[in-house]
Amino acid sequence: MKYAFLFLSAVLLFVTSRAQTTVLPVQQFSKALSAPAEKTILDVRTPDEYTSGHIAGSVNINWNDSSFGEKAQLLPTNLPVYVYCLSGGRSAKAAAYLRGQGFKQVYEMEGGMMKWRAAKLPEEKAAAGKEGLTKANFEKALNTDKIVLVDFYAEWCGPCKKMEPYLKEIAREKQATVTVLRIDVDKNQELADALKIDALPVLHIYKKGALQWSHLGYITKDNVVANLK
């Protein structure tokens, strides 16, 4: 009886693990997409993000849209689903939802489109016209006697939103000595790629054009201010 119970537990564990989402590094994700087998490639970013550049053959269902569930029901549950967003947060939530709806083969792209672009993998681009800040203009903005605090963010990024109020406070409180430059990576993809920004939030501190300090992830105001010296 004991061995039968252990065997049943092992089987259940195996079945459960098979149903769980597999997170794939971008190169492995790309290789899986190139295989001839039928599949669904799901981009869960906003329509604007999708238009600005996406993986060929992907369909766009916005995770933040109230109709996500209704639209996801139209996807074939018997096919593997490869899910991605910009950095991995939304795709993780969407993948968990899909598992709950009976999708057995759900794969996430680790790091999202930021890692995909950092790896120079191909994407379909929209027509020119949203180029954002050029690297030359970015470097010109650093050419100042003030300290330049650069905040790389996105509207969908939770930690970015949490940091935004105190970054605006720093801009007001230290305006005589510090310039705070906030850059939306969704609108400045080429610059983010050139500076190797492949995760968010990222803060940089420049002095006379030279990078002096950088930080990835959430950080408190006090810790940022301590580096503005």
Partnered with residue 54 across adjacent β-strands are 124
Position of tokens 């996430």? Answer: 108
**Assigned token pair, 174:** 């230290």
26, 121 contact by CB (below 8 A): yes
| C-alpha closest to that of 50 among 35, 34, 65 | 65
| Active-site amino acid positions | 157, 160
How does DSSP assign 58-97, residue by residue? -EE--TTSTTHHHHHTTS-TTS-EEEE-SSSHHHHHHHHH
